[in-house]
Amino acid sequence: MANFIGRNKKKEQEKNADRVLSYREQLRDEYRQKRRALEVDDMIKRSVDITNNFLKFWMFHKKMIHCFLPIHRLKEIDTIPLIKRLQQNNQICIPVSNFNSKIMTAKLLTEHTQFQDNQYGIPEPVTGEDVSVEDIDVVIVPLLVVDQHGNRLGYGKGFYDRFLAECKPGTMFIGLSMFGIHEDLKEVSPHDVPLHYVVTPEGIQKTEHGKELEKRLNSKSE
């Protein structure tokens, strides 16, 4: 009897996992299609608006900021102007993804950094100093879709959720979204790491996690 109940419970868990995966994939496909439908001028304007909204709210000073480079063929947000501006008063590190180990690391960006597209067409530094996750103060996160609570969907490989989970307490997670805030995501995975803030072309969304982070940082400074 116990084995029978155990098998039924396992089947139900597998069925729930399949349902969550189906929902997530449908949502990813929907937002991929929305991106593909963007005209070039619209895409450029959205990237400019996101950069301006970010810099109105944050400039940072002497921070180690982890920021992704755009995959232009996927019409991702152009982060290069943002990186150049932030680098004036901060250090920037760029992600490097190992698709065998499923681990993401980072290298310091300098004027001497050399880049190469990996097998998925993602530009990555191939030279430079490795940056420990413990030294990172801010992570700028790519995404396809995000809700008001900071729950996000990326491309589904899990690199950022694993990376964010390794960051030190107090690290700020800021998502950049080409579109506005989606309705609350269903079936959030326990492995998902929520964002503190989301920057969209319309403005900035502070999540409840962002409010908690601000309280924690303010209490430390008192």
- CA-to-CA distance for 214 and 220, rounded, in angstroms? 10
Q: Which residues of the chain have pLDDT under 70?
A: 1-21, 221-222
pLDDT digits (tens, 9 = 90+) for 187-205: 788 889 999 999 999 999 9
| pLDDT for position 188 | 83
E strand or H helix at 67: strand 64-67
| pLDDT for position 186 | 83
119 burial level (CB within 10 Å; 0-12, 13-18, 19+) = exposed
Helix, strand or coil, per DSSP, at residue 7: helix
Whether residue 157 contacts residue 134, with contact meaning beta carbons closer than 8 Å, is answered with no
- CA-to-CA distance for 185 and 150, rounded, in angstroms? 10
**Residue ranges per domain, the chain?**
2-221
Contacts of residue 201, Cβ cutoff 8 Å, sequence gap at least 6: 45, 46, 49, 50, 53, 178, 179, 180
- CA-to-CA distance for 124 and 96, rounded, in angstroms? 6
Sign of CA dihedral 199, 211, 194, 166: positive
| pLDDT for position 6 | 54
β-partners of residue 220 are: none
| pLDDT for position 41 | 97
| pLDDT for position 19 | 58
Whether residue 154 contacts residue 189, with contact meaning beta carbons closer than 8 Å, is answered with no
- CA-to-CA distance for 71 and 7, rounded, in angstroms? 44
| pLDDT for position 88 | 97
Which residue, 67, 75, 73, 72, is CA-closest to 96? 67
Contacts of residue 158, Cβ cutoff 8 Å, sequence gap at least 6: 102, 191
| pLDDT for position 220 | 75
| pLDDT for position 189 | 82
pLDDT digits (tens, 9 = 90+) for 116-142: 999 888 899 999 999 999 999 999 999
- CA-to-CA distance for 102 and 175, rounded, in angstroms? 21
Instruction: Indicate the fold that domain 2-221 takes in CATH.
Output: Rossmann fold (3.40.50)
